[in-house]
Amino acid sequence: MKNLFSIILYCLLANFGIASVYAQSNIVPGANGPITITPLIHSSVQLEYGDTVVQIDPWNRVGLPGAKQADLILITDDVGHHQDVTAIEKLSGPQTVLVMLESGIAKWPDGIVIANGEMIRVKGMVIEAVPAYDIIPGEPSHPKGQANGYVLTLGGTRFYFAGVTECVDEVKVLQGIDVAFMPLNVPLGRMTPAASAECTRILEPDVVYLYHYDQDYARRALNPAYEGTALPGGISVAESLDLFEEELEGSGIELRRGDFYPSL
């Protein structure tokens, strides 16, 4: 689908009169029209396709401006900035379906539980739960089986939301990903720019967004006095994004730098 995806996207943007800012677009093609991607905060993403709205890991720290009531909410983990009950309540209506792991039931007992490796269909969308876990040990720990990434097929386009994971075997075998959301700078040097870029090359999406990459921001959101920590090699977050881009050069994968970090 990948060559067709690129051709359709180019034509779509040309029709919108914005082909010259192709790399800055947050639009990708669906079978019956555009899919609009809105980065919200840290690992929160909104997708819109026709009348369908999907929210991934909504976090209410700055009020989720621009976020819309969801038909589907995907939750990757049960910690606060992934499964935020206030955000879920704000974006839920009578017909909203929430998909999560069993660990999230204590916070939201009405959700649909999906375990690593399972697949379900919700409102015409196919959802595949991909294991998300650590290879390098240490705290904060993300053991196997306690978090999901998701492959979501929406309008014929396959989105991969990695959540907090390293490039584990179950990720490496994913096929046909059109748009990937990849973590960077996960604690203890997991998913460094080189590691995250290598994983992205394995997946070969047409488009990649980096998200969940400023861990200090997430900590300051909860504790404004937090002083921050240095990334491996003493680089800054901005430098880590540049290094990822350098590692991806020549791959043919389009990197989009979404605005995931609004002012606190």
CA distance 71 to 124: 11
Q: Can you read off the two tokens belonging to residue 243?
A: 């290094």
Domain 2-256 belongs to what architecture? 4-Layer Sandwich (3.60)
The domains of the chain are located at 2-256
In tens, the pLDDT along 36-82 reads 999 999 999 999 999 999 999 999 999 999 999 999 999 999 989 99
Least confident of 119-128, 229-238, 241-250: 229-238
Query: Residue 231's closest CA among 185, 175, 176?
Result: 185
CA distance 157 to 217: 31
Q: Does the model's pTM come out above 0.75?
A: yes
CA distance 179 to 173: 16
In tens, the pLDDT along 145-179 reads 999 999 999 999 999 999 999 999 999 999 999 99
- Cβ-based neighbours of 192, under 8 Å, separated by 6 or more: 184, 185, 232, 240
Query: Residue 219's closest CA among 165, 184, 167, 261?
Result: 261
